[in-house]
Structure 1
Amino acid sequence: MTETTAVTVRAARPEDEARWRELWADYLSFYELTLDPAITNGTWTKAMSDRSAIFMRVAEVDGRVAGFSLSLTHEGTWIENLDCYLEDLFVDASARGRGVGRALLDDLVALCRQNNWSRLYWHTAEDNRTARKLYDSYVETDGHIRYRIEF
């Protein structure tokens, strides 16, 4: 059974850095990824910069950051306004099943509407059943398959 908790979502602030780094490390571990510390530092810097299209939102439960989303906006060829791409969403294991992920997604939906962005989109691992259960409650997958060449 899931327990719904009062969750507050807001823009990340500089004082969230230490907690975000803890969650980021858990997120990378979940996906069995190792990143150069310079990439993590750059991600934080971009998320805090007004000059970057990347922005971070955090979800608080009882005054403690329990999850985050990292997104970016960009132009597109099939739309008039900006797209919003949700690149990363993570919830601390101790807060899962308490509405934190849904609160982060609801927040992004509201931001998209507020800013008149054309679309919100994201992808996840095919076998990430927990996330897919949440995501499927918003919209069906669009059937696209991702291809990626890394350099």
Structure 2
Amino acid sequence: MTDNADLEIRPVRDGDREQWDHLYAGYAAFYQVPQTSEMRDKVWGWLHDPAQESEGLVAQGPGGKLVGLAHFRPYARPLAASTGLFLDDLFVSPDARGSGAADALIEGVRKIAEARGCSLVRWITAEDNYRGRGLYDRVASRTAWVTYDIKLPS
């Protein structure tokens, strides 16, 4: 994983739960998505269940403080006859923005994708996430694809 004097990018661990929960609640609030502790319990469970596809990285700063998270999963790319990694969630706490944590988390996911023989890393973001998009435009290529959702009953 990425490691420098002030920041370590590593897989999420059992002992990270309290700090991870705070970060993930902040991520949901950033996107104005209502989220319950039960929902976070479910995602936390996915991150620690090898039968689930979701995995997580965290950015750990000085003193063991977690300042960011990234969740990703493999996905099939039939037309390319390859596998990619989809970066589902990327969040850095407001007090750590500009620290390089987001760059390092993306790089951590990219290195995992490369080591696994994936053909690319893909993610989506909100149109109005201008700060994030500034980073994304620097480290990746924007695609021409438009996404659509069909909402299903819970």
TM-score (norm 2): 0.91
User: 2:14 maps to what in 1?
Assistant: 14
Q: Which has the higher contact order (CA 8 A, sep 6+)?
A: 1
SS at match of 2:134: helix
User: For residue 8 of structure 1, what is the amino acid of its counterpart?
Assistant: E
CA-CA distance at 1:50 after TM superposition = 1.1
User: 1:25 maps to what in 2?
Assistant: 25
User: For residue 122 of structure 2, what is the amino acid of its counterpart?
Assistant: Y
Taking the aligned partners of 1:36 and 1:46, their CA distance within structure 2 comes to 16
Taking the aligned partners of 1:30 and 1:11, their CA distance within structure 2 comes to 23
- CA RMSD across the alignment: 1.5
The 5 Å alignment of 1:54-133 reads 54-62=54-62, 63-133=64-134
| Equivalent residues, number | 148
Taking the aligned partners of 2:20 and 2:92, their CA distance within structure 1 comes to 11
The share of aligned pairs that are identical, in percent, is 26
CA-CA distance at 1:23 after TM superposition = 0.7
Unpaired runs of at least 5, structure 2: none
Say if 1:8 and 1:61, in contact at 8 Å, map to a contact too.
Answer: yes
User: 1:142 maps to what in 2?
Assistant: 143
State the Cα deviation string for residues 15-49 of structure 1 (Å, max 9, x = none). 00110100111111111111243322111100111
Q: Which contiguous aligned blocks of 4+ residues in structure 1 show a shift greater than 3 angstroms?
A: none
Q: Structure 1 residues 51, 98: CA separation in 2 closer, same or farther (over 3 Å shift)?
A: same
Taking the aligned partners of 1:146 and 1:75, their CA distance within structure 2 comes to 17
CA-CA distance at 1:139 after TM superposition = 2.1
Taking the aligned partners of 2:81 and 2:65, their CA distance within structure 1 comes to 38
TM-score (norm 1): 0.92
SS at match of 2:151: coil
Unpaired runs of at least 5, structure 1: none
Taking the aligned partners of 1:100 and 1:123, their CA distance within structure 2 comes to 18
SS at match of 2:51: coil
